Amino acid sequence: MFNTKSVDFIWLVLMGLTLLSAAIAESPDQGLVLILVITFTVAYKGRMIVDHFMELKDANRLLRNSMRVYFYVIPGMIVLVYLFPELIARLTTLH
Partner 1 sequence: MPDSIAPSPQAVIPAKNHIPGNMAIWVGILSEMTEFALMFIVYFLAKVHNPEFFSEGPLRLNTTAGVLNTLVLLSSSYFVIKAIKSIRIGRIARCQRWLWYAVAMGALYLIIKFYEYHWNSERGLATDTDIFFTVYYYTTFNHLLHVGWGSGAILWAIMGIRMGGITQHNHSGLEAVAVYWHMIDLAWIVIFPLLYVLR
Per-residue interface string for the shown chain with partner 1, residues 22-61, x marking contact by CB under 8 A: x-xxx---x----x--x--xx--xx--xx-xxxxx-xxxx
Q: Which of 65, 72, 76, 77 binds partner 1 (CB under 8 A)?
A: 77
Give the separation between CA 86 and CA 82, rounded to whole angstroms.
Answer: 10
Contact residues toward partner 1 (CB under 8 A) are 7-8, 11, 14-15, 18-19, 21-22, 24-26, 30, 35, 38, 41-42, 45-46, 49-50, 52-56, 58-61, 63, 66-67, 70, 74, 77-78, 81-82, 85-86, 88-89, 92-93
